[in-house]
Structure 1
Amino acid sequence: MLARLIPSGATITSIETESITIERVGRGWRLLPGRLGVDNQVLSEAVAHWQQATLEPVAQGPINGAVTVDVWLAGEGQPRRYLFFQVGADMLVQYPALGGQSYKVTEMSWQQLFITDIPHA
């Protein structure tokens, strides 16, 4: 059984990267800073991808060039900090609160989660 990036049943209230924030506003979403062509439907799909993403443990040594993401969930007083890496064709993630285990994000692409280009790692 694969683990989930976001726990089942959890409600995302915001996703913060170094360059953008997707935050819940009422029943919709907004992107800060705002960008043309990124509407509520695109943001809703991105948040849904975060909630659907599954993880597969991988044996991976130290990795450089992380993109840090803080995900705020309803009812939690602190964000969940994730470290994302692009390694070849794979997107890997570490959740430091659970130790140094690396996971491959399955069935999702960088663009589906981040609405941005793949980093140059």
Structure 2
Amino acid sequence: DRLQDGKPRELHLQKSIDVIKCPYEEAAPDFHTESGQGFTSTRLVTCPFYTVTRMQVSGEAVFSQDQPFQMISVFEGEGTFDGKPVKKGMNFIIPAGYGSYTVKGDLEFMVSGVK
């Protein structure tokens, strides 16, 4: 890999080795289900660095974005996020500082975010 000026990029091998966890330790499932107005959420994984939550919306639900970003992956159904159409197979990011957003429709999606 090279920098824009064509010179080789510095490799940080020791730093890479220092952060590798060996042997691999699988994250324990952390299932926690919660229901609210128009939605059901199931936390699948949480650790000091990130969370992954499965969301099921039927009708209309309002969520807040309080993480550095949220990665959304729609895997079933269709609807809208703040009026923008979404459907199965779509992925997008909700940036930091976005605030609350409204999801309408009948859909399931994953919300992944860093802490």
Q: TM-score, normalised by structure 1?
A: 0.23
The structure in which a higher percent of residues are helix is: 1
Q: Which has the larger radius of gyration?
A: 2
The structure in which a higher percent of residues are strand is: 2
Q: TM-score, normalised by structure 2?
A: 0.24
